[in-house]
Amino acid sequence: MPRLLDGLLVLDMAQFLSGPSAALRLGDLGARVIKVERPRTGDICRTLYLTDTELGGDSTLFHAINRNKESFAADLKNGADRAAVKALIARADVLIQNFRPGVIERLGFGYEHVRALNPRLVYAGISGYGEEGPWMDLPGQDLLAQAVSGGMWLSGSEGHGPVPFGLSIADMLAGHALVEGILAALVRRGITGEGAHVQTSLLEAMLDLQFEVLTTYLNDGGRAPARSSLNNAHAYLAAPYGVYATRDGYLALAMTPLPKLAALLRSEELETLSQPPEAGFDKRDQIKRVIADQLVQDTTEQWLHVLRAEDVWCAPVLSWPDLLGQEAFRRLDMLQTVRRVDGTSLQTTRSPIRVDGHRPKFESAAPKVGEHTNALIDEFGLR
Residues designated catalytic: 171
DSSP tag of 364? B
| Residues contacting 45, CB < 8 A, separation 6+ | 15, 16, 17, 20, 59, 61, 62, 65, 66
Q: Is 145 exposed, middle or buried (0-12, 13-18, 19+ CB in 10 A)?
A: buried
Q: How many Cβ atoms sit within 10 Å of the Cβ of residue 122?
A: 25
CA 157 from centroid of its chain's CA atoms: 24
178: left (phi over 0), alpha (psi -120 to 50) or beta: alpha
Residue among 380, 369, 202, 233 at smallest CA distance from 314 = 233
Alpha-carbon distance 228 to 240, whole Å? Answer: 11
Give counts: helices (H), strands (E), the chain. Answer: 17, 13
Inter-axis angle of helices 211-218 and 202-209, nearest 10: 70
DSSP tag of 355? B
Three state DSSP letters for 116-173: HHCCCCEEEEEECCCCCCCCCCCCCCHHHHHHHHCHHHCCCCCCCCCCCCCCCHHHHH
